[in-house]
């Protein structure tokens, strides 16, 4: 269970003094049947010490033995002092009834329900808490004591009259561990009710309760499954408050040592303020905690554990010492402060080590202002155990700038020695690391302007930005004001060693994550909108978009993978659309992308699917040889289509609807235009031969490559018409003609049964 810890000591000793109340004992010797009536007279089911009798009010009802497991409280006398289940009451009992009883003090004693039986007993008749003396100590109205065995109260509880506040104490004396479950609604009635949880057992409030008095957890655990929206809650040093559902309270005070636990799937809202938050940890997994009121205290000694979420909606959040957001291999905590922030927090980021040359790279950004790079992220001097790079779009060759110079010291050409807000960096470490950002958390918009577009370099228009917040962030959901920037961004996926595309409004950028954007002309700008912050624990690369086919080329030897996306949108064109398509950006995985006249695309959005549509897909191998392509989302097409994948190298077509996985190998020298996606059976004669064939010369050979296997005769001529070589394609896409004794221009003629073309090459 994951945790946020709140650490504060109040010892509440309890006792009740019994004077002269009469005890009415349940008569097991009369063998009462199920649904036995408490008003029964023949025989009497209660014994008052001298004979059978019907309880007349203000007495103790004592149950022992095993007879009568189900009974009905239909007594006409409604006053109760105590109900006690003795140690030999070894069979669970259920006490039903519809009339409201009143538990009230008698001779300055405390009314109670007590279980010493070691089994669970249930009370299902409603009751009120009556007058209570304020001249004795303790001076509360009633206690429910699960000393040995559980107590379930399935009925409503309220106050009997308006004289003072009635404190309902939930406890388990003698180091008991019985669980108290109150399922009915607890309301003020004609008075005011407060609840006090003492001793080390657990009590559970199930309903959405309406009482307006305080709730105090002095020891043990109080679990809320419903709201107590009108109650101010205090968690003392030895107390724990557990949230298990959608729960709202009013104000929250946590004393040093107290603990709050928000269980998975729960939503915990503090409608008012949090006070005295000192040395506390909220324990949680995927629940959410929201503070809506102004915070009157400094947030100090506070830890948000990994996968925990905290939202502060007050106008200002002041952070003191030791406010920590934790991170480990399972996840990272999340903080959203919707007002101004001041003071300093520590935000951890777990970073997995490199395992080879392609895995272990991460795109990193800072969630706090003015974070220094040295020495937390790069030691002084730098060593061989880390890599830390910034990105320069204007570089003519390699855009990555190493923080370490060739002489082994800090590289003065790297740029600023601090993280730049909204910028991303490429990092890798030789061992698993938990790095810590320290400073004031960013909470407002971050503008990025002057993003360059440098023609002719190796990565024209690409810029590495970063999520500047200690929470996840939607990409361009609200008002980012993209200017000359493509609408699709890219996230680096360490496990597949490649980039994947994220789309506006739904794409998630994790906390402290860098991301790539593409400037398409002149200079670009955008504003990272703080309104798009979100707590998100689902992996960002998963989605359920309609009209989207995701093709993933997996490298089975190097454990890398590259996505290629095909989407359908009636507003798109067949050319490149800045607002829909995304240029391909290679990583370490095999290159796999759609090919259009305007370039190579990782996301190719088309206006419609027709039977004549073909989409060429290029594949460029990495160092591996064995691969497979897997298709996802074919069933998401609004108009169901047959989707075919044709491998041009071996002239094989597979229907992806029937089998979405295609296995293949690739070798050096394979033509990159290897695959075609189409939506009806494909015929070679339907293709333009000139577009199908490529011819080039290398190492005294003329090489012929086709997009798919064909049958063709090949003849190579000198410029004077002399035949210098012959070859043939027989259901093949690769041919080679050796011309080791020839240099100069040549004409290559490719002839099929229906078409012929000539290609010119220079042989050296």
Over the stretch 659-693, which tens digit does the pLDDT of each residue have? 999 999 999 988 898 999 999 886 644 567 777 78
DSSP 485: B
What pLDDT sits at residue 543? 47
DSSP 692: H
Contact in structure between 419 and 426 (CB atoms under 8 Å): no
Distance between CA atoms of residues 537 and 672, nearest Å: 38
DSSP class per residue in 167-216: EEEEE-TTT----EEE-SPEEEETSEEEEEE-SSSEEEE-S-----S-EE
362 class by beta-carbon count within 10 Å (0-12 exposed, 13-18 middle, 19+ buried): buried
DSSP 634: G
Distance between CA atoms of residues 8 and 216, nearest Å: 13
- Provide the CA 116 distance to its chain's centre, in angstroms: 44
What pLDDT sits at residue 541? 37
Q: Which residues contact 70 (CB under 8 A, 6 or more apart)?
A: 34, 35, 36, 93, 94, 96
Q: What is the mean pLDDT of the chain?
A: 88
Q: Kindly indicate the confidence band of residue 414, based on its pLDDT and cuts at 50, 70 and 90.
A: very high
What pLDDT sits at residue 130? 85
pLDDT tens digits for 445-499? 999 999 999 998 889 999 999 999 999 999 999 989 999 999 999 999 999 999 9
Contact in structure between 7 and 237 (CB atoms under 8 Å): yes
pTM over 0.85? The answer is no
Q: Kindly indicate the confidence band of residue 696, based on its pLDDT and cuts at 50, 70 and 90.
A: confident
Q: What is the mean pLDDT of residues 288-313?
A: 78
Contact in structure between 492 and 363 (CB atoms under 8 Å): yes
Q: What is the CA radius of gyration of the chain?
A: 37
pLDDT tens digits for 176-217? 999 999 999 999 988 899 999 999 999 999 999 999 999 999
Pair of tokens at residue 194: 């407060």
pLDDT of 284 higher than 70 = no
With a pLDDT cut of 70, the percent of the chain lying above it is 92
- Provide the CA 110 distance to its chain's centre, in angstroms: 48
Query: Buried (b) or exposed (e) across 331-360, using 16+ Cβ within 10 A?
Result: bbbbbbbbeebebbbbbbbbbbebeeebbb
pLDDT of 127 higher than 50 = yes
Contact in structure between 129 and 111 (CB atoms under 8 Å): yes
Q: What is the mean pLDDT of residues 338-362?
A: 94
pLDDT tens digits for 578-612? 999 999 999 999 999 999 988 999 999 999 999 88
Distance between CA atoms of residues 218 and 9, nearest Å: 7
- Provide the CA 147 distance to its chain's centre, in angstroms: 40
What pLDDT sits at residue 539? 34
What pLDDT sits at residue 492? 96
Beta strands in 329-486 (DSSP E): 331-332, 334-337, 340-343, 345-351, 362-364, 386-391, 400-402, 425-429, 433-439, 446-451, 462-466, 472-474
Q: What is the mean pLDDT of residues 334-347?
A: 93
Bridge-based pairing of strands 142-145 and 744-751 is unpaired
- Provide the CA 698 distance to its chain's centre, in angstroms: 53
Residue matched to tokens 């880390």: 386
pLDDT of 332 higher than 70 = yes
């Amino acid at each position: 269970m994951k945790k946020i810890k709140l650490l504060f000591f109040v010892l509440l000793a309890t006792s009740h003094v019994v004077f002269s109340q009469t005890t009415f004992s349940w008569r097991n010797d009369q063998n009462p049947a199920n649904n036995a009536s408490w008003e029964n007279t023949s025989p009497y089911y209660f014994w008052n010490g001298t004979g059978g009798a019907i309880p007349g009010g203000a007495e103790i009802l004592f149950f022992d033995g095993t007879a009568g497991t189900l009974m009905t409280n239909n007594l006409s006398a409604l006053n109760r002092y105590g109900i006690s289940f003795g140690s030999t009451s070894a069979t669970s009992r259920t006490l039903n009834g519809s009339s409201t009883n009143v538990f009230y003090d008698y001779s300055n004693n405390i009314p109670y329900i007590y279980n010493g039986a070691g089994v669970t007993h249930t009370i299902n008749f409603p009751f009120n808490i009556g007058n209570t003396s304020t001249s004795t100590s303790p001076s509360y109205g009633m206690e429910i004591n699960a000393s040995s065995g559980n107590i379930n109260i399935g009925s409503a509880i309220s106050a009997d009259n308006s004289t003072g506040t009635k404190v309902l104490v939930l406890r388990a004396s003698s180091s008991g561990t019985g669980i108290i479950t109150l399922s009915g609604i607890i309301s003020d009635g004609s008075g005011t009710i407060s609840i006090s949880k003492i001793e080390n057992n657990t009590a559970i409030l199930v309903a959405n309760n309406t009482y307006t008095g305080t709730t105090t957890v002095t020891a043990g655990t109080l679990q809320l499954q419903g709201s107590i929206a009108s109650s101010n809650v205090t968690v003392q040093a030895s107390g724990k408050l557990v949230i298990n559902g959608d729960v709202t309270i009013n104000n929250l005070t946590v004393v040093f040592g107290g603990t709050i636990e928000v269980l998975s799937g729960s939503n915990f809202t503090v409608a008012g303020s949090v006070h005295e938050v000192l040395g506390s940890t909220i324990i949680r997994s995927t629940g959410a905690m929201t503070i809506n009121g102004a915070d009157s205290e400094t947030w100090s000694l506070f830890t948000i554990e990994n996968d925990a979420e905290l939202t502060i909606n007050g106008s200002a959040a002041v952070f003191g010492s030791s406010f920590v957001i934790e991170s480990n291999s399972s996840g990272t905590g999340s903080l959203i402060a919707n007002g101004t922030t001041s003071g300093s927090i520590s935000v951890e980021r777990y970073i997995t080590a490199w395992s080879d040359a392609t895995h272990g790279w991460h795109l990193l950004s800072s969630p706090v202002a003015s974070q220094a790079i040295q020495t937390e992220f790069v030691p002084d001097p730098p060593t061989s155990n880390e890599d830390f790079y910034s990105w320069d779009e204007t570089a003519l060759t390699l855009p990555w700038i190493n923080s370490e110079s060739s002489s082994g010291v800090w590289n003065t050409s790297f740029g600023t020695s601090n993280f730049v807000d909204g910028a991303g960096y490429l990092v890798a470490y030789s061992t698993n690391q938990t790095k810590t950002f320290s400073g004031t958390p960013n909470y407002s918009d971050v503008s990025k302007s002057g993003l360059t577009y440098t023609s002719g370099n190796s990565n024209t228009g690409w810029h590495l930005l970063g999520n500047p917040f200690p929470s996840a962030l939607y990409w361009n959901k609200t008002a980012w004001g993209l200017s000359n920037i493509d609408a699709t961004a890219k996230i680096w996926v360490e496990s597949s060693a490649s980039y994947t595309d994220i789309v506006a409004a739904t794409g998630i950028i994790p906390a402290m994550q860098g991301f790539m954007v593409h400037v398409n002309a002149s200079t670009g700008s955008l504003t990272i909108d703080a309104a798009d912050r979100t707590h998100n624990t689902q992996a960002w690369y998963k989605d359920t978009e309609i009209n989207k086919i995701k093709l993933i080329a997996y490298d089975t030897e190097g454990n890398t993978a590259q996505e290629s996306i095909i989407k359908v949108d009636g507003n798109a064109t067949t050319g490149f659309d800045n607002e829909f398509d995304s240029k391909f950006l290679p990583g370490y995985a095999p290159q796999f992308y759609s090919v259009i006249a305007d370039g190579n695309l990782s996301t190719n959005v088309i206006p419609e699917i027709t039977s004549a549509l073909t989409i060429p897909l290029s594949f460029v191998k990495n160092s591996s040889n064995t691969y497979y392509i897997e298709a996802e989302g074919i069933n998401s097409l609004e108009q169901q289509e047959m989707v075919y994948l044709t491998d041009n190298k071996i002239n094989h077509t597979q229907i992806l609807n029937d089998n979405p996985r295609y296995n293949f190998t690739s070798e050096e020298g394979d033509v990159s235009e290897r695959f075609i996606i189409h939506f009806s059976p494909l015929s070679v004669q339907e293709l333009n031969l000139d577009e199908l064939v490529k011819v080039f010369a290398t190492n005294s050979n003329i090489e012929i490559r086709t997009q798919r296997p064909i049958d063709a005769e090949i003849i190579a001529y000198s410029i004077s018409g002399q035949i210098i070589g012959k070859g043939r394609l027989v259901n093949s896409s690769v041919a080679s003609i050796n011309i080791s004794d020839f240099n100069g221009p040549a004409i290559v003629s490719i002839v099929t049964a229906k078409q012929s073309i000539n290609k010119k090459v220079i042989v050296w």
